[in-house]
Amino acid sequence: MPALLRRIVTRLAGLLTRRQVVFLPRVAGAEARLLDLRAPYRVDATSVAIAVTDGRVGEMTIAVRGYSGHFPGRAVWRPWAFAHAGPCTYTLDLATGTLWRGVAMVAQAGKAITFPSRRFAIDWGLETPSGEVAERQTGHYRPGGDEPVDAAYFGGGNYVDHEAESAGEHPAVVRLLKSHGAGPRVLEIGCATGGLVAALRAAGFDAVGADFSEWAVGQATARLGGAHAWQWNVERDPAPAALAGRGPFDALVLWVTLEHFRAPWAALAALAPLCAPGARLFIKTTNADSLTHQLFGGDWEGFYDWTHHGVSEVGVRSLRERLPALGWRVRACATELVWDGSADPLHATVREWHTHDARFRRLLVERELGDLVTVVAERG
């Protein structure tokens, strides 16, 4: 159904029934339409094993899709059909394009499966002899490793498009600083390519930034001009003298940065001497206490970025506990969002619930179960 027609139908149905009307995927209609299986989101090896626990038999069809932007796109491994005799484990060897059922080869492409990005999805379809159809799309990603944090990381390796994804937040960050009375001198740690620093400077703040990525700082310097961005590994090196000389700072900003440190609390302690008495601290980071982390465990989206070294350590509870111990008084703390990129329909269920149900969004806020948490604190 075209998007415009769908909006018209849902609007009319909502007016007639006085209910919130939502179109869900067809697999939501009955449990029998959903193929029962277990599949890992993160694929650490050159093969992925999927345990099909569904007891039905029939003809199984699978196809592998690469990602185009944020969504599964074209098939990179053509559909194969084969007899499925009940519960078993299928192993897809990505290096050879071979599908195995136990030790028996089921299908072979004869070459490695290549993907346009780290993400991929597998379409599964089962048709029983009686004509019953069950389906499932499983979502997967291959972890990064020691790759440099450079143009590839910001433009496809981790982010789809960092510039576009981050730019939408800049006005909200500026408003947040102003609403909490931040002074003029602002230091952003993890400034990336300098977009937020530029927005803060345009709003009247004397903002500068630092990042450990040489490539990112080069981009920030080209954008900002002059001495407004420095390369600095906070966990390893002392602050650059020229950067320290711009302080003490009235506001310290770590916007989606804290989770990247191997020792987040030690990093914050190292930054404290750069801050003036009464300075404001603005943090947006991942929430290890979130609902989706509790639901999906190791398949939580927070683990997707291979530079999220401290993602398990930061969350609502640890922030409320550790910030006062480091000399910061928490002024505000709130969570938001379901952050999940898996194609699997069980993951999609939580995303769709968040999109379409204001009660669920309010639940995440009131119970502090969102995937991202924003904290504002004041230096004692």
**What is the C-alpha to C-alpha distance for residues 41 and 121, in angstroms, rounded to an integer?**
10
Choose one of 108, 141, 174: the last residue of a domain. 141
How high is the pLDDT of residue 329?
98
Q: Are 92 and 64 in contact (CB under 8 A)?
A: yes
Domain coverage including residue 2: 1-30
Q: Is 306 domain-assigned?
A: yes
**What is the C-alpha to C-alpha distance for residues 279 and 248, in angstroms, rounded to an integer?**
9
Question: Into how many domains does the chain fold?
Answer: 3
Q: How far lies 364's CA from each of 296, 298, 357, 368, in Å? A: 16, 20, 11, 5
How high is the pLDDT of residue 1?
63
Token reading at 90: 């299928």
Choose one of 141, 166, 195: the last residue of a domain. 141
**What is the C-alpha to C-alpha distance for residues 187 and 197, in angstroms, rounded to an integer?**
8
Token reading at 289: 């206490």
Q: Are residues 46 and 23 in the same domain?
A: no
What does the DSSP assignment read for 294-317? HHHGGG-GGGSSTT-TTTTT-SHH
Q: Are residues 317 and 333 in the same domain?
A: yes
Q: What is the CATH number of the domain that holds 210?
A: 3.40.50.150
Q: Are residues 171 and 312 in the same domain?
A: yes
Q: Are residues 133 and 161 in the same domain?
A: no
Query: Structure pTM?
Result: 0.93
Q: Are residues 182 and 88 in the same domain?
A: no
Q: Are residues 133 and 238 in the same domain?
A: no
Q: Are residues 317 and 175 in the same domain?
A: yes
Token reading at 293: 């982390």
Q: Is 146 domain-assigned?
A: no
Q: Are residues 26 and 113 in the same domain?
A: no
Q: Are 116 and 68 in contact (CB under 8 A)?
A: yes
Q: Are residues 338 and 352 in the same domain?
A: yes
| Long-range contacts from 158-166, C-beta under 8 angstroms, 24+ separation | 158/118, 158/304, 158/305, 158/306, 158/307, 160/69, 160/70, 162/192, 162/193, 163/193, 163/195, 166/192, 166/195, 166/196
Q: Are 76 and 64 in contact (CB under 8 A)?
A: yes
Q: Is 204 domain-assigned?
A: yes
Q: Are residues 243 and 352 in the same domain?
A: yes
Q: Are 214 and 241 in contact (CB under 8 A)?
A: no
**What is the C-alpha to C-alpha distance for residues 142 and 310, in angstroms, rounded to an integer?**
19
Q: To 10 degrees, what angle do helices 170-179 and 195-202 make?
A: 50
How high is the pLDDT of residue 5?
74
Token reading at 88: 């078993």
Q: Are residues 74 and 18 in the same domain?
A: no
Q: Are residues 94 and 25 in the same domain?
A: no
Choose one of 76, 106, 141: the last residue of a domain. 141
Q: Is 94 domain-assigned?
A: yes
Q: How far lies 377's CA from each of 105, 271, 322, in Å? A: 58, 14, 12
User: Taking the CB of residue 143, how many other CB atoms lie within 10 A of it?
Assistant: 12
Label residue 272 exposed, middle or buried (CB < 10 Å: 0-12, 13-18, 19+).
middle
Beta strands in the chain (DSSP E): 37-38, 47-52, 58-68, 71-84, 88-93, 98-101, 104-108, 119-127, 133-141, 185-189, 206-211, 229-231, 249-255, 275-286, 328-336, 372-379
Q: What is the CATH number of the domain that holds 108?
A: 2.60.40.10
Task: Give the gyration radius of the chain's Cα atoms.
Answer: 24
* Block mean pLDDT (10 aa), the chain, length 380: 72 78 84 97 95 98 94 89 96 94 90 91 98 97 88 91 94 99 98 98 98 97 95 98 98 99 98 98 99 98 97 99 98 98 97 96 98 98
- Listed in sequence order, the residues at least 6 apart from 353 whose beta carbon sits closer than 8 Å to its beta carbon are 338, 360
